[in-house]
Amino acid sequence: MINKDIYLMVKKLAVVGSCKGNRPDVRMPKMCFQGDWLKDMGFPIGALVDVESDYQSIVLKLRGSEQVKSLKPLFFRSSQGLLKVTYCKAREKQYPALTVQGFWLQPLGFAIGNLIVVEAEEGVITIKPFTPKNQGGAACS
């Protein structure tokens, strides 16, 4: 549980990865975020997350606690829609995980191999391409 008297913010430096596209010779951008820091920022396993984007910015906002089972799984892959916080497993423990992927990332400035800055606070994660202006305080992990 987060102590609401303490303001928490996480700033990370990461790299846009890749995954297979719809053809074996085509790769698309993929950004994966995982770990207890997601839970600390209010993104527990199973939570719904709204995706908002514009040029050089993606904002992931925690939605409330709605019934996930009634929504179609394909809806969670939308570039302008919802994501579901899934999990990854390490050393017999489950950690929250969020994956943002697709060709829609490239025109926004998130090409494979590019550095990105991830800023997270309670219920909101902002992802921007790395520039010397927004590097302050970012740690690579």
> What is the C-alpha separation between 48 and 31, in angstroms, rounded?
17
Q: What is the mean pLDDT of residues 113-123?
A: 94
Q: What is the mean pLDDT of residues 75-90?
A: 73
Q: Which residue has the tokens 């303490």?
A: 6
At 98 the three-state DSSP class reads: strand
Q: Nearest 5°: phi and psi at 30?
A: -150, 130
Q: Which of 105, 131, 107, 103 is closest to 117 using CA atoms?
A: 131
Q: Percent of the chain having pLDDT more than 90? A: 50
> What is the C-alpha separation between 82 and 85, in angstroms, rounded?
10
pLDDT attached to residue 34? 93
Other CB atoms within 10 A of residue 78 CB: 12
pTM listed for this prediction: 0.78
